[in-house]
Amino acid sequence: MEESCKNVYITTPIYYVNDVAHIGHAYTTIIADMLARYSRLTGANTYFLTGTDEHGQKIAQSAEQRGKTPKEYADEVSGKFKTLWDDFDISYDKFIRTTDDEHKIGVQHAFQKMFDKGDIYKGDYEGYYCVSCETFFTQKQLVDEQFCPDCGKPTNIVKEESFFFKLSAYEDKLIKWYEENDDCILPRSKKNEVINFVKGGLRDLSISRTSFDWGVKLPESMNEPKHVMYVWLDALMNYITALGYGSDEKNMNQWPANVHLVGKDILRFHAIYWPAFLMSLDLPLPKHIAAHGWWTRDGEKMSKSKGNVVDPKLVADAYGLDAFRYFMIREVPFGQDGDFSQKALMDRINSDLGNDLGNLLNRISGMSGKYFDSKVTSVDVKKYHQKELDEVEEILDKVELYLWDMQLNRYLEDIWKVLTIANKAIGDYEPWAKMKEGKTNEAMALVALITNIMARVSLLLDSVMPEKIGKIATSIGITIDNATYTSLLKNKELIADTTITKVEQLFPRIEEVLLEQAKPAVVEKNTTEEKSSKKDEVIEEDDNLITIDKFFETSLKIGTIVEAEEVPKSKKLLKLQVDLGEGRNRQILAGIKEFYSAEDLVGTQACVVANLKPAKLMGMISEGMLMAAKDEDGLSLIRPESSKKIGTKIS
């Protein structure tokens, strides 16, 4: 997608009101807000949608447990989401709720239209249903014939009258859409997973329930009062009902969506069910469905029982909202899982924001004030610094491609390359030396070069850190708007004469963590035992314990996966070529195919047991083992928190 699009429509998922907002919700919403703010800056007619999903059996049960009606419970939790996004200054154009009357009208209109087309029919459903995921499964899809393959919770056998959507009729059309639109699903590696699922065969989808009544009723004309719509049919329709579909349709000119942002756990619903529904309604399909990964904390999956859930409001209040926004977007490549730690956040604040960005502004302010009474003119910049300008423009001409390809960390990385050019130029040209030599014009040209670079960077970072960048813009005398964007970034003009004003330190250095660290569960000791003297203390040895010397017999190293491919006829194995810094690659066969695609692994690092005897699997040699952890939520490779030198020993 290009920024010059007349209309830009960006959506988050509508968040299910079964819990309070967490860091994953914040991540999705911050990215959507970034794209919306940038689109508006370019002059696009932008519409940004977020909201809450409030129907379904799980909500009815949660409300009952709290002694509330489903609507009372939904009002309460939805209100908390909206308050958080308002506190975060999220620039949404509409906050939709699936309990809105306009939404219900639009969903009923869509149901009737699909029914009239012959894509919905009545039948009987019997199968396995996960209340937690609001999803139906076949027995083959279950774990141990009982548990949900997505969340691991027990499923229920459901047998009831139901209306079905002819999903199977759209199998070939979906495959054609995937094949003809290279970037309809981002990252592109995720599209292969979706295609393989569809090629495995699609079953018609049960889209109504009679065992509970908390949901959107079927159209009155159908005279089926005991049926409510399946929550995913109801929820997905929000993307068009928010634009007025089925009612006033006043904003339907914004359709199709440019970007649907979703978590990877709900990609199937958005990349299979949703396009099929749209095809049935004869509506255009979205341009991009972008699925991001999950967040852990200090390498561990977050859970209430562990006490390590990250509250985004607490983090933003402690470290600053803009710093939190920057960290979330920069820290992890979009599509991959990310790990939140206060140390990593502090490093980003102190290094990227404090040293590279904040200190550069201080240098502009200091040099202009000391040498030129804070006045800056760009008249000689091209004369003395065309080389630096060309380097900057070459980088900035490409950054928008990263933005709309959902390579958001690359977008920021390239902007920081520009900041490096600016900081390096000060050291290379030494304006203080120019002033001593009487070369005032050259010193002014250098200060003006840095000011122009800061102006361009500010335009590109405003969508990421609007509050701090607003202060930078004020300091260097520019306005963050479409006119300035067009002048400096599209037309590559230089800023007019300006006066630099001093601002407070934007990113003060942080030396210690500001929030209480997550604590491991503590086992209470017997008071009497605590009073016993160390002299009398007896340590009972466990037969499974090993000495430290025994542990160090295992060689653990950091390796980079340079090649990855599936092993034919194997449901579990991937064949990897791993560089451990030995002058050759190791071939390792890893049973992780169910959890990772080959494309996702290339270029990533992993922890490797490096001194295992080679073993033969399916006729192929495996020279090591990747370290991983697996629980009821799936399998995760053990990885270094940040990139490490190939072959680094783990101790």
- Which amino acid, residue 598? A
Neighbouring residues of 417: CB distance < 8 A, sequence distance ≥ 6: 395
For the chain, the straight-line distance linking the first and the last C-alpha, in angstroms and rounded, comes to: 46
Contact 328, 466 (CB under 8 A): no
Determine if residue 148 is labeled as part of a ligand binding site.
Answer: yes
Residue 303 to residues 6, 130, 263, 327, Cα–Cα distance (Å)? 43, 20, 17, 22
Structure tokens of 301?
A: 């999956």
Structure tokens of 476?
A: 């260097």
Neighbouring residues of 565: CB distance < 8 A, sequence distance ≥ 6: 574, 575, 598
Determine if residue 184 is labeled as part of a ligand binding site.
Answer: no
Structure tokens of 269?
A: 């619903």
Alpha helices in 285-358 (DSSP H): 312-319, 321-331, 342-347
Residue 477 to residues 100, 125, 454, Cα–Cα distance (Å)? 44, 66, 11
Q: Which of 12, 638, 28 is nearest to 301 (CA)?
A: 638
Neighbouring residues of 440: CB distance < 8 A, sequence distance ≥ 6: 371, 434
Determine if residue 133 is labeled as part of a ligand binding site.
Answer: yes
Determine if residue 5 is labeled as part of a ligand binding site.
Answer: no
Contact 472, 459 (CB under 8 A): no
What angle do the packed helices 23-41 and 70-87 form, to 10 degrees?
A: 50
Q: Which of 275, 333, 339, 348 is nearest to 302 (CA)?
A: 339
Q: Tell me which H or E stretch contains 279.
A: helix 274-280
Which residue positions form the known binding site? 130, 133, 148, 151
Which residue positions form the known binding site for Zn(2+)? 130, 133, 148, 151
